Amino acid sequence: MTQPTPDTAPRAPRPQVVMEVVATQRINPHMVRLTFGGEGFKDFTDRPVTDKYIKLLFADPSLGLTPPYDIDAIRRDHGPEAVPVRRTYTVRKVDHQNGTIDVDFVVHGEDGLAGPWAAQAQPGDVVCFNGPGGNYKPEESIDWHLLAGDESALPAIAATLEAMPSNAEGVAFIEVQDADDEIELAKPSAVEIRWVHRKAEFTPTTTKLAAEVMKYPWRSGLVQVFAHGEREMIKSLRRYLADDRGIDRRMMSLSAYWAYGRAEDTFQAEKREPIGKIFPDA
C-alpha cells in the first residue's frame, strides 16, 4: 500500500491546551486582561518570540461539549457548522514560575465573539486553545526599531519593548481611541512612545497611524520593523516602508490582525486571496 504524499496526507490534529481563567483585570476602557492557569499550563510550549499568539476555540454551549474537542467527531455528529470557531489573540506575558499566561482582549461592547466573552469571564471559566505560534523578536545587531500598531497590536508591542536590550533605540507608534486608553509601558530609555489618538472608533477615515509614521523624520542606519494591526492600514505602511523607504522585507514583520468591516472567519478566509495579502507577491 502506497503512503500518502505530503499533498494528500491527512493533517495531524492541532494540539489543544486546556486551562482556566484564574484572574481578570480591566487594563483600560477598551481592554481586558485575562490570566490563564491551572494544570493545563504543563501542555503549553512557549516560544522565544514577542508576537506569540494562540487560537482560542469557542464551542456552541448548547452542545455541552467538554474540551479538548474532538473536531472530527463534532463535524461528523453535529455537522461542520458545529465545529468550534477560532479567534486569534496575542499572548501578552508568560509566567513560568506561577504557571500562567496573560492575554489582553480589545472589547467594544457586544461586538464580536471573544471580546464580549472576555469582558464577562470569571475565575474558573475553562479555556481551550491551539498554539502558540509567532515568529518575531527584536534583534540586537541593528541601529533602531520601528514599531507600529493599533489596539490589537498593543500586547505584542508591549512584550517587544520589554524584551529589547537596555541600549536599544527607536520609536513605537500606538494608535488608540483617546488618552484614557494609554497604558504604562516598560521600555528602553532611548525608545520613544508616540500615542496616536483617533478620537473615535476605528474606521478607514478616522485612523491616523500610517500618516503619523510617514511624517516621522527618518533615521539613518539599519532598522527592524514590527507593524501589525488593521489590514488596509498595514498595507499603507507596507507601501511606504517597502516601496518608498526601500526596507528589505526580511527586516520587516508586517501582519494584519483584523480587517475593518470583516468578521473573523471572513478575514481569515481572505488571507488566501489577493485582498488579504499584505505583500502582493506573497
Residue 3: pLDDT band with limits 50, 70, 90: very low
Give the structural domain span for 102. 16-133
Do 97 and 156 reside in the same domain of the chain? no
Residue 7: inside a domain: no
Q: Please give the residue that has the higher pLDDT: either 266 or 36.
A: 36
Q: Give the pLDDT confidence score for residue 7 in this predicted structure.
A: 47
pLDDT in tens, 200-244: 999 999 999 999 999 999 999 999 999 999 999 999 999 999 999
Count of domains for the chain: 2
Q: Which of 199, 153, 151, 147 is nearest to 173 (CA)?
A: 147
Q: The CATH number of the domain where 149 resides is what?
A: 3.40.50.80
Do 162 and 271 reside in the same domain of the chain? yes
Q: According to DSSP H, which parts of the chain are helical?
A: 71-78, 114-120, 154-163, 209-215, 231-238, 264-270
Do 123 and 217 reside in the same domain of the chain? no
